[in-house]
């Protein structure tokens, strides 16, 4: 495993711990364990390309200068916000598409004792990315831009998902509905 990926995974553990121990959430032991299980199942399970590319991009912007520990942590944190957001999209997409597997394992909502609670889990995932942004970027001059960017990504993704869902209704598949323009919107 690369040093970058190892560091990135270390930051995941820190962010997860912050969220699970946030005094704003009055977790019971059971709910804390459930959220931790949900996070570990859904957030770090992929290749992490989206999140790692944030760190790589920041390194490029530094033009060869070494990143400080703080810069590395913030770049990793921002990368994890993207991974959290992606997990939110995937949990809800799997429910909407009635999928069976994701990344070689059963979809989260298909697990025993999860079911449609996964809808709320998706909402939690979305809110976690906002919480991480607030906890680590609120004092920066670009905080509002980051929040706006995440909101815009969610807006565009939700609209693309809607178009995808309504153009693929079971029993109503009509290839004449598809166009290059529609494909770009999705």
pLDDT digits 0-9 by tens, 39-71: 999 999 889 999 999 999 999 999 989 999 999
- Asked whether residue 181 falls in the same domain as residue 95, the answer is no
Give CA–CA dist 26/10, Å, rounded. 25
> How many domains are contained in the chain?
2
pLDDT grade, residue 163 (50/70/90)?
A: confident
pLDDT grade, residue 89 (50/70/90)?
A: very high
Give CA–CA dist 132/150, Å, rounded. 12
Contacts of 59 (CB under 8 A, 6+ apart): 67, 75
- Asked whether residue 102 falls in the same domain as residue 184, the answer is no
- Asked whether residue 33 falls in the same domain as residue 100, the answer is yes
Q: Is the pLDDT of residue 182 over 90?
A: no
Mean of pLDDT over the chain? 92
Other Cβ atoms less than 10 A from the Cβ of 149: the count is: 13
Domain boundary among 100, 120, 138: 138
- Asked whether residue 63 falls in the same domain as residue 77, the answer is yes
pLDDT digits 0-9 by tens, 102-126: 999 999 999 999 999 999 999 999 9
Domain boundary among 119, 138, 157: 138
pLDDT grade, residue 180 (50/70/90)?
A: confident
Instruction: Calculate what percentage of the chain has a pLDDT beyond 90.
Output: 79
Give CA–CA dist 185/17, Å, rounded. 37
Residue 77 structural domain: 3-138
Give CA–CA dist 155/158, Å, rounded. 5
């Amino acid at each position: 495993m690369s040093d970058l990926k190892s560091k990135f995974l270390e930051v995941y553990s820190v962010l997860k711990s912050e969220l699970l121990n946030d005094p704003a959430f009055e977790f019971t032991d059971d709910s804390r364990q459930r959220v931790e299980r949900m996070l570990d199942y859904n957030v770090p399970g992929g290749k992490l390309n989206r999140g790692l590319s944030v760190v790589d991009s920041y390194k490029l912007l530094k033009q060869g200068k070494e990143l400080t520990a703080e810069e590395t942590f913030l770049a990793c944190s921002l990368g994890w916000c993207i991974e959290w957001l992606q997990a939110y999209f995937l949990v809800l997409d799997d429910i909407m598409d009635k999928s069976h597997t994701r990344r070689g394992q059963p979809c989260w909502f298909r697990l025993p004792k999860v079911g449609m609670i996964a809808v709320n889990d998706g909402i939690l995932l979305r809110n976690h990315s906002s919480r991480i942004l607030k906890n680590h970027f609120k004092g920066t001059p670009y905080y509002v831009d980051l929040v706006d960017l995440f909101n815009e990504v969610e807006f565009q993704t939700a609209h693309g998902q809607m178009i995808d869902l309504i153009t693929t209704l079971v029993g109503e598949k009509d290839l004449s509905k598809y166009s290059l323009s529609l494909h770009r919107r999705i």
